[in-house]
Structure 1
Amino acid sequence: MSGSMTFEKDIVLIYYEDTPLAFARIEEIWEDDKPDWFHVKLLFLQLPVHSATWILKGAYIDGAEFTMGGKRMRLEKVICPAEDRSDDAEDDTFDDLQMPEIEEHLAVNDADPIMQSDAEVIQFPFGKR
């Protein structure tokens, strides 16, 4: 169990039979007609992005195990790990990535089907109102 209460806009990791399945953001929580039950709208953070509304007890929202379709499920609130922001902290975020390798990978490659000369530019209607 996560040990802390879960609220709207929190990120949760959904476990299915003790295996991490997906991340979701809790968009809304509202009361059900039954006491201590709630509607929980989840935005699943995966492709394609989609949402679903589950009806859960308050304890389930806060990390207690429940079943869905006979399978064990659990929500675990995701807490951002503390970050050492001191000047002495070694920044190893990009240790495994070398910029020349990244630039080489991003360079136009004739063998790459995405970069073929018959590619078309598609205009999206963003901002046109």
Structure 2
Amino acid sequence: MATENDVVLIHFEDQPLSFARIESILPDNKPDWYHVKLLMLQIPLQVVTWILRDRYIMGDEFTMNGKRMRLELVVCPDISPEEDRHDEQEPETPSVEKEDGSATVISFKDKFKR
């Protein structure tokens, strides 16, 4: 089940429509219904609140204005160590000592160039 701060993909009529982050899930007066506040991750940013059943937050299909909708939890894919490695050798990063010799400053300028 998606929870606060999770990113979901909103499907509209079986087509991916937009990503959103769940800002809050608050109970409604009716049992098993919730006010789901979503930050729509599009331009311009927009905040909407949908009243949904718990099973809809879990990914079951529902309708809005007669149109089929569905929320799908987005899970970050694992990156294997082989994919994360750079093919190039990292250049030596120069270090500079403070005048009193108490600390070393390392430049990240070249480290993050791709």
Give me the TM-score of the superposition, normalised by structure 1: 0.64
Query: What 5-or-longer segments of structure 1 have no aligned partner?
Result: 94-129
Partner of 2:57: 61
Runs of 4+ in structure 1 deviating by more than 2 angstroms, as ranges, are: 90-93
Partner of 1:41: 37
Partner of 1:13: 9
What letter is aligned with 1:57?
R
Query: What 5-or-longer segments of structure 2 have no aligned partner?
Result: 87-114
Q: Distance in 1 between matches of 2:83 and 2:10?
A: 32
Residues 71 and 6 of structure 1, relative CA distance in 2, 3 Å threshold? same
Does residue 81 in structure 1 map to residue 64 in structure 2?
no
Q: Distance in 2 between matches of 1:90 and 1:79?
A: 18
Q: Distance in 2 between matches of 1:92 and 1:17?
A: 40
Identity of aligned residues (%): 60
Does residue 26 in structure 1 map to residue 25 in structure 2?
no
What letter is aligned with 1:24?
A
Give deviations 1:52-73, integer Å, cap 9, x for gaps. Answer: 0000000000100000000000
Structure number with the higher helix fraction is: 1
Give me the TM-score of the superposition, normalised by structure 2: 0.72
1:90 deviation in Å? Answer: 4.3
Aligned residues: 86
